[in-house]
Amino acid sequence: KDIQVFEFHEAFAAQVVANLKCLDSDQFAREKLGRDQKVGAVPPEKLNSWGGSLSLGHPFGATGARLVTTAANRLIQEDGEFALIASCAAGAVGNAMVLERCR
């Protein structure tokens, strides 16, 4: 509810499916995140609604910039307050950020 825009880098389609399943899992939250309950389901209509890396392209070295730019523009167009941006890289590296719209 707190986040209106979700931009996840799709290195490959199965990776995003796995991320969504983990976010909506109480077991994953307890065992891997040390949380009492799951983060929650991501509404499909709010995830990569302008297209993700598989449709827009994956510019090595600029994927993060593409994700942030897309999320910022979506916040304006969709009148949102917060965006969650997530990306992965080789070697089990991952990063995420929450972007807040300034008004």
Q: What is the pLDDT of residue 53?
A: 83
pTM, to two decimals? 0.88
Q: What is the pLDDT of residues 3-30, one digit of tens each?
A: 999 999 988 888 889 999 999 999 999 9
Q: What is the pLDDT of residue 93?
A: 84
C-alpha distances (whole Å) from 98 to each of 12, 13, 27, 55 are 22, 22, 24, 23
Q: What is the pLDDT of residues 66-92, one digit of tens each?
A: 999 999 999 999 999 999 999 987 777
CATH of the domain at 29: 3.40.47.10
Average pLDDT (35-56) is: 93
Q: What is the pLDDT of residue 89?
A: 79
Domain count across the chain: 1
Structural domain that includes position 29: 5-100
